[in-house]
Amino acid sequence: MGAMLQRGGGLRALWLVLLGVAACPSAVSAATGLVYVSHERSDNIVMLNKEDEVVGQIKTCARPRGMTRTPDKKSLIVACGNDDTIAVYDLASRTLIKRFRDVPDPETFDLHPNGRDLYISNEDDSECSVLNLETGEITAHYATGPEPEGVLATPDGKRVFVASEAGNLVHVIDVPSGKVVKDIVVGTRPRRFALSPDGKELWVSCEIAGIVDVIDTATLQSKGQISFLPKGMRREQVTPVDLVMTRDGKTAYVALGRANHVAVVDVASRAVKDYILVGRRPWGMRFSTDEKTLYVANGLSDDLSIVDLASGKVRKTVPVGMVPYGIIVDD
Amino acid sequence: MTERPSRRLALLVMAALLASFGRPGPAFAQTAAAQDRVILFVDREGDPWYQRLNAHDGVMRISHLTSLPGAELAAKDGRAAGRALGATFKVVRRTLKADEPVEQALRAAADQGVEAAILDVPAADLLTASASAPPSMALFNIRDQDEQLRKDTCRGTLFHVIPSRSMLTDGLAQFLVRRNWKKILVLEGPEPDDKAFSQSMAASARKFGARIVDTRPFAMTNDPRKREETNLGLLTGSGDYDVVFVSDMVGEFGRMTPYRTILPRPVVGTEGLRPLAWHAAAERNGAPQLNRRFEREAGRPMTQEDWAAWAAVRVVIDADMRGARDATPAPLPKRLLRQDTTLELYKALPGSFRSWDHQLRQGIFLSTHNAVIDLAPVEGFLHETNTLDTLGMAPPQSPCGR
pLDDT tens, position by position, B331-347:
999 999 998 888 999 99
Q: How confident is the model at residue B312 (pLDDT cuts 50, 70, 90)?
A: very high
Nearest to B321 among A125, A143, A185 (CB): A185
B12 to chain A: closest CA residue: A125
Residues B189 and B247: their CA atoms lie apart, in Å, by 6
Residues of chain A with C-beta less than 8 angstroms from the C-beta of B342: 187-188, 208-210
Contact between chains at A143 and B21 (C-beta distance less than 8 A): yes
What's the 3-state SS for A108-154? Answer: EEEECCCCCEEEEEEHHHCEEEEEECCCCCEEEEEECCCCEEEEEEC
Q: Which of B74-78, B81-85, B307-311, B378-382 has the lowest mean pLDDT?
A: B81-85
Q: How confident is the model at residue A29 (pLDDT cuts 50, 70, 90)?
A: low
C-alpha closest to that of A171 among A147, A135, A155: A147
Q: Which residues contact A250 (CB under 8 A, 6 or more apart)?
A: A266, A267, A268
- pTM, to two decimals: 0.83
Is the pLDDT at B124 greater than 50? The verdict is yes
Q: Across residues A165-186, what is the average pLDDT? A: 94
CATH 3.40.50.2300 spans which residues of chain B? 29-163+280-362, 166-276
Is the pLDDT at B188 greater than 70? The verdict is yes
Peptide linkage before B377 cis (omega within 30 of 0): yes
- What three-state secondary structure class fits B390? helix
C-alpha closest to that of B138 among B117, B113, B112, B123: B117
Residue type, B324: A
Let me know if domain B29-163+280-362 sits in CATH 2.30.300.10.
Answer: no
Segment A104-135, tens digit of pLDDT:
888 899 999 999 999 999 888 889 999 999 99
Residues of chain B with C-beta less than 8 angstroms from the C-beta of A171: 80
Looking at residue A11, what is its pLDDT? 47
Q: How confident is the model at residue B104 (pLDDT cuts 50, 70, 90)?
A: very high
Distance from CA of A179 to the nearest CA of B (A): 5
Q: Which of B5-9, B167-171, B212-216, B372-376 has the lowest mean pLDDT?
A: B5-9
| Contacts with B, A 91-130, CB within 8 Å | 101-105, 122-127, 129
Contact between chains at B321 and A208 (C-beta distance less than 8 A): no
Residues in chain A, how many? 331
Answer whether A236 touches B (CB < 8 Å). yes
Is the pLDDT at A22 greater than 90? The verdict is no
Asked if B110 and B134 count as a contact pair (C-beta separation under 8 A), the reply is: yes
Looking at residue B54, what is its pLDDT? 64
Looking at residue A188, what is its pLDDT? 92
Answer whether A149 touches B (CB < 8 Å). no
Nearest to B80 among A141, A143, A258 (CB): A143
Distance between first and last Cα of chain A: 27
State the burial class of residue B125 (Cβ atoms within 10 Å of its Cβ: 0-12, 13-18, 19+).
buried
Residues A200 and A262: their CA atoms lie apart, in Å, by 24
Q: Across residues A174-184, what is the average pLDDT? A: 94
Contact between chains at A188 and B318 (C-beta distance less than 8 A): yes
Residues A13 and A319: their CA atoms lie apart, in Å, by 40
Q: How many CB atoms lie within 10 A of CB B18?
A: 10
Q: How confident is the model at residue B83 (pLDDT cuts 50, 70, 90)?
A: confident
Segment B340-370, tens digit of pLDDT:
888 999 999 999 999 999 999 999 999 999 9
Q: Which helix (H) or strand (E) holds B288?
A: helix B287-298
Reported ipTM: the value is: 0.74
Residues A128 and A117: their CA atoms lie apart, in Å, by 12
Contact between chains at A188 and B343 (C-beta distance less than 8 A): yes
Is the pLDDT at B59 greater than 80? The verdict is no
C-alpha closest to that of A88 among A108, A106, A68: A68
Residues of chain B with C-beta less than 8 angstroms from the C-beta of A123: 289
Q: How confident is the model at residue B55 (pLDDT cuts 50, 70, 90)?
A: low
Q: How confident is the model at residue B9 (pLDDT cuts 50, 70, 90)?
A: very low
Segment A61-99, tens digit of pLDDT:
999 999 999 988 999 999 998 889 999 999 999 999 999
Contact between chains at B84 and A146 (C-beta distance less than 8 A): no
CATH number for the domain formed by residue range(s) B166-276: 3.40.50.2300
Looking at residue B221, what is its pLDDT? 84
Return the DSSP state at B353.
B
Contact between chains at A188 and B325 (C-beta distance less than 8 A): no
Q: What is the mean pLDDT of chain B?
A: 89
Answer whether A62 touches B (CB < 8 Å). no
- What three-state secondary structure class fits A279? coil
Contact between chains at A146 and B20 (C-beta distance less than 8 A): no
